[in-house]
Amino acid sequence: MFQKHLSEETRRKISQAKLGVKLPPFTKEHKRKISEALKGRKHPWAEKLVQRNFSENCSFGYVLGVILGDGSLYVGNLPTNQVYVLSLMAKDCDFVESFSYHYEQLTGRKAKVRSYYKNGKQYFQASPANKGLYELFLPIKHGKDYQRLLMLSEDVKKGLLAGFIDSEGYVLINEERRHIEIVNTDIELLKTIRKILESFNVFSNLHVYANRGTFNSNLPLGTLRINSFNSVKRLRELIHLHIARKESQLSKVNMLQIVPRRA
């Protein structure tokens, strides 16, 4: 609607900003119009979002990685309007706090972490409302437009990997084994994550299994396995995880003196 009144140059900048492509410096006019494009109208938080520049912000990648994993997007109804929500619920408090931290780094707004009990187990949840990010993430998560992920800058991809492995990863590192698994029922998403890993010379094997009710789904279950010493070490050089037990395991790779068997 409003975009038909924008110049071709401004349209290009809006499109690139949404994809996280590195951009030349914005003029105030570009920032104003991109803010309108993100929100549908001018709003202070949208201005901050543009100024932080997705292309150099690993927090954008981390939040997106979490949403593609354990996170969710939904629209809530209030008495006077609708809210567009990014939500994460998990048993690991440090994971939810990390999601909240990166969200604040990205937007300048806090995402409150709440605790509650369900079936005798403690869970933590952060559910910030943000229409701009909701509209950016929706075609990727629900529309499965994963090609956009391959167009992100390297810093955003690193954040994406950290968020997705925090969500979906299992890490075991010791003298006998160096084993990282990323499990998900979306095989196409795993194939895209595999391509991103390969762009950093981190190599993995994709295995697809029949799903016998795991994760309350009948979809095939995909597993990315990173087993080689070189690839695990390269991944360690790229990212730090925010779930303490996973980060503790991944950090052990720096102390290992294993002769790599393959690249």
Is-contact 186 173, C-beta < 8 A? no
- Place 13 in a pLDDT band, splitting at 50, 70 and 90: low
pLDDT digits (tens, 9 = 90+) for 72-109: 999 988 777 889 999 999 999 999 999 999 998 888 78
Percent composition of the chain: helix, strand, coil (DSSP 3-state, to 5): 50, 20, 30
Indicate the average pLDDT of the chain: 80
Q: Where a domain ends, among 73, 108, 138? A: 138
pLDDT, position 118 = 86
3-state SS assignment for residue 252: helix
User: Is the pTM above the cut of 0.85?
Assistant: no
Same domain, 65 and 155: no
Q: Where a domain ends, among 113, 138, 163? A: 138
Structure tokens at 110: 């806090």
3-state SS assignment for residue 253: helix
pLDDT, position 9 = 60
Beta bridge partners of 123: 116
197 found inside a domain: yes
Burial of 205 (0-12, 13-18, 19+ CB in 10 A): exposed
Same domain, 76 and 171: no
Segment 43-65 shows an average pLDDT of 64
Q: How many domains does the chain have?
A: 2
24 found inside a domain: no
Q: What is the extent of the structural domain holding 176? A: 146-254
38 found inside a domain: no
Is-contact 100 196, C-beta < 8 A? no
pLDDT, position 256 = 66
pLDDT, position 58 = 84
**Which secondary-structure segment (H or E) carries 114?**
strand 113-118
- Place 66 in a pLDDT band, splitting at 50, 70 and 90: very high
39 found inside a domain: no
pLDDT, position 21 = 45
174 found inside a domain: yes
Same domain, 110 and 171: no
Q: Where a domain ends, among 138, 161, 194? A: 138
pLDDT, position 51 = 47
pLDDT digits (tens, 9 = 90+) for 160-217: 999 999 999 999 887 777 789 999 999 999 999 999 999 999 999 999 987 766 555 6
pLDDT, position 179 = 84
Cα–Cα nearest to 90, from 71, 109, 74: 71
Residue 31 phi/psi, 5-degree rounding, is: -60, -45
The answer to whether residue 24 scores a pLDDT higher than 60 is no
16 found inside a domain: no
Same domain, 167 and 240: yes
42-51, 83-92, 138-147, 222-231: least confident range? 42-51
Same domain, 166 and 227: yes
Q: The domain spanning residue 216 has which CATH number? A: 3.10.28.10
What percentage of the chain reaches a pLDDT higher than 90? 43
94 found inside a domain: yes
Is-contact 212 135, C-beta < 8 A? no
29 found inside a domain: no
Side chain identity, residue 39: K
pLDDT, position 252 = 85
